[in-house]
Amino acid sequence: MIKNTLFLRALKGENVERPPVWMMRQAGRYLPEFMEIKAKYDFFTRCQTPELASEITVQPIRRFGMDAAILFSDILVIPQAMNIEVEMKPNFGPYLPNPIRSRKDLDSVIIPNVHDSLAYVMEAIKATKEKLNNEVPLIGFAGSPWTILCYCVQGQGSKNFDKAKELCFTQPDVAHELLQKITDTTIAYLKAKVNAGVNAVQVFDSWGGMLSPTDYEEFSWRYIQQIIDALKEEAPVIVFGKGCWFALGEMASSGAAALGVDWTCSAKNARYLSGGNITLQGNFDPSRLLSPPAVIKKMVTQMINDFGKDKYIVNLGHGILPHVPVENAKAFIDAVKEYKITY
């Protein structure tokens, strides 16, 4: 049995002494111990070597004692397993040299056997579970099909993912087939992760907010709903849609256990839009971790008061930035642990 149950209880909507806390991208470049490993091994070697991935996963837990760990990996291991080449270029980010722009490109995209091509992820989960020693739960994750399509079609990060949208709007049949292939692979992948030992899964729809509400429905949400339907009996599902406040109402009745919120949506609005009953996760502006520790602590306490201590998981509104001082990240976590109801 896992000793720290705050996170899993919050996902069930149960009352807690204080809300649980973790940070998106908590295993990352703001940590000197992460940078030491990064200096020796390239990105996909770190992802594919269970000893390295598990070590990186537990680094922030050892240092700060968050209430949940998230497996070190990347959303782009999915297109890689689907026979789409993915490189991680230093100081550039993801680069896919052969983007999917036509039906012919789509023909080479496979639905892999995840137990073979992503076996290294399952091994990393097992190694991490051993290191965590049942102290805290482990989160597994995947990108949403739309967010994965963004990279597969654009070929790299982008301010507006115009080429990804162009494919959707000019060759919708190709886009939908690609989205369905990604969805089928993602469902098999997340089920395998749960079998390997993760206690909850998060779907990152990092670029969902690029779409209009109507297009979101067609190109993103309906595929996320398939993932929730397939997973919800096996593990709690958290959906984080960056910029997707407009969809919170629909998301709240989807079977998801919790919804991520970014910092552009107030706690009050997020509660209102999601109907007030579902667990919410978020939404500290990642740049606010650059404020002095005393300011961070005050703002975190205010944020908990705004969301309420129950049905709430403290997190950032998106991933932690690489240049955040370690003591500022610590102030964020400590503020939650020191939380006492003050209203």
Q: Please, which of residues 234-293 interact with ligand CP3 by CB under 6 A?
A: none
Nearer to ligand CP3, 93 or 325 (CB): 93
Nearer to ligand CP3, 95 or 246 (CB): 95
Minimum distance between the CB of residue 36 and ligand CP3, rounded to whole angstroms? 12
Residue 70 DSSP SS3: strand
User: Would you give the DSSP letter of residue 225?
Assistant: H
Residue 131 is a binding residue for ligand CP3 (CB under 6 A): no
Residue 139 DSSP SS3: strand
When binding is defined by CB under 6 A, the residue of 88, 111, 252, 326 that contacts ligand CP3 is 88
Q: Which amino acid is residue 104, in one-letter code?
A: K
Residue 93 is a binding residue for ligand CP3 (CB under 6 A): yes
Tell me the C-alpha to C-alpha distance, in Å, between residue 90 and each of 26, 44, 57, 155.
Answer: 19, 12, 21, 16
Q: Which stretch binds ligand CP3 (CB under 6 A): 67-75, 102-110, 115-123, 225-233?
A: 67-75
Minimum distance between the CB of residue 298 and ligand CP3, rounded to whole angstroms? 25
Minimum distance between the CB of residue 294 and ligand CP3, rounded to whole angstroms? 26
Residue 70 is a binding residue for ligand CP3 (CB under 6 A): yes
Q: Which amino acid is residue 15, in one-letter code?
A: N
Q: Give φ, ψ of 139 to 5 degrees.
A: -100, 135
**Burial class of residue 247, CB neighbours in 10 A (0-12, 13-18, 19+):** buried
C-alpha dihedral over 204, 188, 95, 27, to 10 degrees?
50
Residue 76 is a binding residue for ligand CP3 (CB under 6 A): yes
Q: Facing residues of 143 across strands?
A: 204
Residue 25 is a binding residue for ligand CP3 (CB under 6 A): yes
Residue 204 is a binding residue for ligand CP3 (CB under 6 A): yes
Q: Centre a 10 Å sphere on the Cβ of residue 214 and count the other Cβ atoms it contains.
A: 8
Give me the residues that bind ligand CP3 (CB under 6 A), please. 24-29, 38, 43, 70, 72, 74-76, 88, 93-94, 141, 143, 157, 204, 206, 318-319
